Amino acid sequence: LYTYGGYQVSEELVRRAQAAGYRTIVLTVDLSRLGRREKDLRNNFALPSHLREGNFTVNTKLSEKGSLLTWEVLPWLRSITTLPILLKGILTAEDAELAVQHGVEGIIVSNHGGRQLDTALASIEALPEVVEAVAGRCEVYMDGGIRRGTDVLKALALGARAVLVGRPILWGLAVNGAAGAHHVLELLRDELELAMALSGRPTIASIDRSLVRLL
């Protein structure tokens, strides 16, 4: 969920999602403004003028995304849905603590693929600080840079409950549709299983921080 066009548009999306059987709302909080995406600028990338976002009943603009994004969005969001709420885009202990105080069920440590704030910490670098700050009061996930099963292993070792995978799924989808996306997940699972075996960790619960050396 982004706060496209203000709360009214977002409320419609949330209610439709809950009615359709979705089980969690993931609110992206690191896009109050669009970052300077130099690749897009160099390539002169822009959506054709005749296209619009397909899930909306009204026209919106990307520039409107996140325009009303403050911590006050969480009480409002809680008032319109009974679904668990995860915050995506947390990178610091301070924001993790505020998220817990606002009663979220989970935090997704993410730097938005490095496309928002140049030179920001990588998600894997920010993960230990957030895990320590949360101290088990909600679940912590990590998003960004997952390309191999060993990446999953490192994230779990640093305290993530699970990881999110974006671009590899899109690559698999582009190559072979749903079967391609499924194949990517199989590759990651098999690589994780092998990495666990070779590092002497027979179960997910046995993965701990001793597997990772922070330099």
Q: Could you confirm whether 50 is annotated as catalytic?
A: no
Whole-number Å distance between alpha carbons of 87 and 129: 16
Whole-number Å distance between alpha carbons of 85 and 99: 10
List the catalytic residue out of 102, 112, 182, 183: 112
Which two tokens mark 150?
Answer: 């060993």
What DSSP line would sit under 46-92, residue for residue? ---TT---TT-SS---GGGTTTT-STTHHHHHHHH--S-EEEEEE-S
Backbone φ, ψ for residue 140 (5° rounding): -125, 130
Helix (H) / strand (E) element for 141: namely strand 139-143
Which positions are annotated as active-site residues? Answer: 112
